[in-house]
Amino acid sequence: MSENERLEKEVVSTGNLEIDNKIGGGIPLGSLTLIEGHSHSGKSVLAQQMIWGSLQDGYKISLFTTENTVKSLIKQMQSLNLDVLDFLLLRKLKVYPMEVARLKEEAIGTLLRAMKCETDSDMVFVDSLTPCIIATPVDEILGYFEECKRLCSDGMTIIVILHSHAVTQELLVRIQSLCDAHLRLRSEEVGDRLIKTMEVAKVRGASKRTGNIVSFEIEPGWGMRIIPISRARG
């Protein structure tokens, strides 16, 4: 893809047109995005789809992860037919596993300083922020998101994954107000199936009207697969 073609898209794409359409055509570059939900609700898979789609569009990405090692990330994404090995070798994708237990209360400040050093990356993903903010004062958590907002104003695109249980509802509302986009995920059992649902709560500056509720399944070798809500309920 040429530089002009890349710049024409100017969105964080999942690489799946159907999913992108549900989130208003893709999240605009320069946005601060919150992906929030309970455990096993599909947050990491959605983030990995976004990483994959954006790499395909020619963007450079840095991923700070508390969920994976480099080896386990490659294996997990390959199982979803999202092979990023070549991008890693070419340094289009940089992965930084975080040792939060060692950093303790310094984790969130260390993470923010490291993010500020990624000036050659177009996008920064944090999966997930949750271990970094355990027992962290509210002001420091809000300060982190405010600094992320400043980085976005300077041209960076940031996607932060957060477990719903990690913060109070009052704090979550305050975090949401700082973010340009907010995707809320949850999972539920329907019969013998585990259905995941994405609520597109907000996408500021979306090129198209956003869809409110999206149901999907995660299939090995395929990744995210949108399913009609009527089928999900049936």
> What is the per-residue burial (b if ≥16 Cβ within 10 Å, else e) of 42-77?
bbbbbbbbbbbbbbebebbbbbbbbbbeeeebbeeb
Which pLDDT value is given to residue 7?
43
> What tens digit of pLDDT does each residue of 177-215 get?
999 999 999 998 877 778 999 999 999 888 777 767 889
What would the DSSP string read from start to end of 29-81? TT-EEEEEESTTSSHHHHHHHHHHHHHHTT--EEEEESS--HHHHHHHHHHTT
Q: Under a CB-based contact definition with an 8 Å cutoff, are residues 211 and 21 in contact?
A: yes
DSSP-derived secondary structure letter, 164: G
> Hey, what CATH topology would domain 3-233 get?
Rossmann fold (3.40.50)
pLDDT at position 209 is 72
- Regions of the chain short of the pLDDT cut 50: 1-7
3-class SS at 106? helix
Alpha carbons 28 and 77: distance in angstroms, whole number: 24
Structural tokens at position 28: 């605009």
Of 58, 57, 158, give the one whose Cα is nearest residue 116.
158
Predicted local confidence at residue 6, as pLDDT: 46
State whether the Cα torsion 77-82-85-89 is positive or negative. Answer: negative
Tokens 């999240």 -> residue? 27
Tell me the pTM: 0.92
Any idea what DSSP says for residue 60?
-
